[in-house]
C-alpha cells in the first residue's frame, strides 16, 4: 500500500466525519438557518456515542445516541433562532460553548476508556476491486451512510415536494406560509435533523475513525463543515467533494509524518484548514450569489 492509496483511504474515512455534519448543515442552511453550533453538536454526539458504546458495548447504539444528542443541541439552536429570532451566529457559538463545557465535565470519566469501534464492513465484490475497493468499499457503516445520504439528499432536494418546501422555506418563508405551509416547523425540523447528522459525524470520530474520546476532540471540524457548505454553494454533490478534500488533507498530514517527511507536525496540522480557506476563497465569488435568500437575510441582520 503506497502513500497515495493510504491518503485516499484515510481521506474517505476522515472525510466522512466532515461529510455527515456538512450534509446536516446543508439541510439547515437550505431552510435558512446557519448553525455554527455544528461544532458543538459534533462534540456532544462524539461523547454520547462513545459513552453509549462503552456502556452498551454496541457502537451502533452509540451512533444512535450521537444522533439524539446532536439533535438535542440543534433543537436548542433551532428554538433560539427560529422561535426567538436570536442572532444565528451568536446562538450557534452559545450552543458550542454549552457543548464544550458539558462534554468536558461529563466526559472526564470516559477519557482513556476503550470501546469496540464500528466494525469495518468490506463490501463483497466491490471491495475486492484493486485500488478502488480499499479506498471506497472497505470502511465502517457510516462511510457508506455518507454515500447513501448524498444521493438521498440530492433526490429529496430536487425531486420531491418536501425538498421543494424546504428550499422554498430558505428562500421565501412568506411564500411557503401563504401556500399553507409552516415555515417555522420546517426550519425547526431541518435544524434538528441536520444537527443530528452532525452528532453522527462526531460519532464517526469517537467510535469510528479515531476510536477514543478526549476533550475538544472535534478541533474545529464542525466549523470546517460550515465552510464546506459555503464553498460547495449549497449543492449536495459538491459538499461531498469538499468534505473528502478536507479528509484527504488531514490524512495527507499524518501519512507525510509517518513517512518521515521533515516538516513540523503543527504546520501539517494547519494544512487542512488552509486548504479549506483557499477553497472557500476560490469559490466565494461564484457561490455567494447562490445562497438561499433567507439565509443571506439572516446573516445580513447578524452583528
The angle at the Cα of 243, spanning 41 to 208, to the nearest 5 degrees, equals 60
In the complex, minimum distance from the CB of residue 123 to other proteins, in angstroms, rounded to a whole number: 35
The Cα–Cα gap between 8 and 255 comes to 10
**Residues 6 or more apart in contact with residue 277 via CB below 8 angstroms:** 227
Residue found under cell 465552510: 227
Q: Choose between 121 and 277: whose C-beta lies nearer to other proteins.
A: 277
Nearest Cα neighbor of 243 from 71, 88, 251 is 251
Question: b/e for 168-194, b at 16 or more Cβ within 10 A?
Answer: bbbbbbeebeeeeeebbebbbbbbbbb
Q: Choose between 58 and 104: whose C-beta lies nearer to other proteins.
A: 104
Helix (H) or strand (E) holding 95: helix 88-107
Residue found under cell 439547515: 28
The Cα–Cα gap between 149 and 145 comes to 6
**Residues 6 or more apart in contact with residue 188 via CB below 8 angstroms:** 75, 78, 79, 82, 83
Among 5, 108, 155, 258, binds other proteins (CB under 8 A): 108
Residues within window 166-225 making contact with other proteins, judged by CB under 8 A:
172-174, 176-177, 182-185, 215, 219-220, 223-224
Among 101, 120, 126, 151, binds other proteins (CB under 8 A): 101
90 lines the binding site for other proteins (CB under 8 A): yes
73 lines the binding site for other proteins (CB under 8 A): no
250 to 279: interface string for other proteins, x by CB under 8 A: --------------xxxx-xx--xx-xx--
Among 192, 227, 243, 252, binds other proteins (CB under 8 A): 227
Cell for 160?
420531491
For residues 139 and 14, the answer to whether their CB atoms sit within 8 Å is no
Q: Which stretch binds other proteins (CB under 8 A): 19-27, 62-70, 77-85, 254-262?
A: 77-85
In the complex, minimum distance from the CB of residue 116 to other proteins, in angstroms, rounded to a whole number: 27
* Count of residues of this chain found to bind other proteins when the rule CB under 8 A is applied: 62
| Interacting residue ranges for other proteins, rule: CB under 8 A | 36, 80, 83-87, 89-91, 93-98, 100-102, 104-106, 108, 172-174, 176-177, 182-185, 215, 219-220, 223-224, 226-227, 230, 264-267, 269-270, 273-274, 276-277, 280-281, 284-285, 288, 294, 297, 299-303
Amino acid at each position: 500500500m503506497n502513500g497515495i492509496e493510504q491518503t485516499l483511504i484515510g481521506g474517505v474515512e476522515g472525510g466522512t466525519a466532515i461529510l455527515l455534519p456538512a450534509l446536516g448543515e446543508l439541510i439547515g442552511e437550505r431552510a435558512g438557518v446557519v448553525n455554527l453550533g455544528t461544532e458543538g453538536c459534533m462534540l456532544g454526539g462524539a461523547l454520547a456515542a462513545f459513552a453509549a458504546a462503552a456502556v452498551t458495548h454496541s457502537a451502533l447504539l452509540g451512533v444512535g445516541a450521537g444522533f439524539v444528542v446532536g439533535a438535542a443541541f440543534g433543537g436548542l439552536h433551532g428554538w433560539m433562532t427560529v422561535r426567538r429570532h436570536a442572532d444565528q451566529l451568536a446562538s450557534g457559538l452559545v450552543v458550542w460553548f454549552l457543548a464544550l463545557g458539558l462534554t468536558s465535565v461529563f466526559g472526564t470519566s470516559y477519557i482513556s476508556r476503550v470501546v469496540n469501534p464500528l466494525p469495518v464492513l468490506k463490501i463483497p465484490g466491490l471491495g475486492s476491486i484493486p485500488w478502488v475497493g480499499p479506498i471506497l468499499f472497505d470502511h465502517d457503516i457510516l462511510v457508506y451512510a455518507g454515500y447513501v445520504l448524498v444521493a438521498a439528499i440530492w433526490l429529496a432536494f430536487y425531486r420531491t415536494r418536501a425538498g421543494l418546501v424546504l428550499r422554498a422555506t430558505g428562500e421565501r418563508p412568506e411564500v411557503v406560509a401563504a401556500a399553507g405551509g409552516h415555515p417555522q416547523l420546517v426550519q425547526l425540523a431541518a435544524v434538528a435533523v441536520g444537527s443530528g447528522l452532525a452528532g453522527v459525524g462526531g460519532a464517526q470520530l469517537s467510535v469510528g475513525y479515531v476510536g477514543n474520546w478526549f476533550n475538544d476532540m472535534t478541533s474545529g471540524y464542525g466549523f470546517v463543515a460550515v465552510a464546506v457548505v459555503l464553498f460547495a454553494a449549497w449543492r449536495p454533490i459538491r459538499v461531498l467533494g469538499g468534505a473528502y478534500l478536507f479528509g484527504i488533507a488531514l490524512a495527507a498530514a499524518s501519512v507525510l509524518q509517518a513517512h518521515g517527511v521533515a516538516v513540523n507536525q503543527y504546520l501539517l496540522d494547519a494544512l487542512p484548514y488552509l486548504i479549506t480557506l483557499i477553497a472557500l476563497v476560490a469559490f466565494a465569488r461564484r457561490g455567494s450569489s447562490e445562497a438561499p435568500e433567507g439565509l443571506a437575510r439572516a446573516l445580513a441582520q447578524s452583528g
